[in-house]
Amino acid sequence: MSTHVVKLAEIERKWYTIDASGKVLGRLASDIAYVLRGKHKPNFTPSMDNGDHVVVLNADKIAVTGDRLVKKMYYSHSGYPGGLKTTSMERMMQTHPERVIENAVRGMLPRNKLGDAMLLKMRVYTGPTHPHEGQAPVDIAQVLDAGRGTMRIHSK
């Protein structure tokens, strides 16, 4: 008996939406990364990108626990001496709330070209509308199984 290797022609990509309003950031990012990697499919292969597209709505309405809004910092460096810039999560939520979700999901994907390709299949919007109606996206709760403990999507 041999192991089946997924071919590019066999990969079928679907589109899913998720409403981020009221969801805790880490749990939301975990569920998004799960679908982007393709772990919900029976033909999951760790060395291939066979995940689906995810459209995140209402990114500005996510919830965080504890003192994260004040204490969590995002760092960037220009490469020059003294070029370290820090931004609090509170400030990031005011200016670019979609980047908060992108950074959280990026941290849960592989750190290589494969992870970069997976991240390109995620679109994050601050409002309840999106321009991807032509792809007929369905709710992400349909693919997240109860065995994974992801029924928390339906809470709140």
Each domain of the chain, given as residue ranges in start order, spans 12-63+97-154
Q: What is the mean pLDDT of residues 98-103?
A: 97
Give the model's confidence band at 156: pLDDT under 50 very low, under 70 low, under 90 confident, else very high. Answer: very low
Res. 84: pLDDT tops 50: yes
Higher-pLDDT residue of 146, 20: 20
Q: Is the pLDDT of residue 146 over 90?
A: no
* pTM score, whole prediction: 0.90
Give Cα separations from 53 to 18, 49, 68 (angstroms).
Answer: 11, 11, 28
Q: Using the 8-state DSSP alphabet, how is residue 76 labeled?
A: E
Q: Extract the tokens encoding 87.
A: 């931004």
Nearest to 32 by CA among 17, 46, 47: 17
CA distance 37 to 121: 10
Question: Could you tell me the fold of the domain covering 12-63+97-154?
Answer: Ribosomal Protein L13p; Chain: A; (3.90.1180)
Q: Are 13 and 135 in contact (CB under 8 A)?
A: no
pLDDT of residue 144: 85
Q: 63 pLDDT exceeds 90?
A: yes
Percent of the chain surpassing pLDDT 70: 92
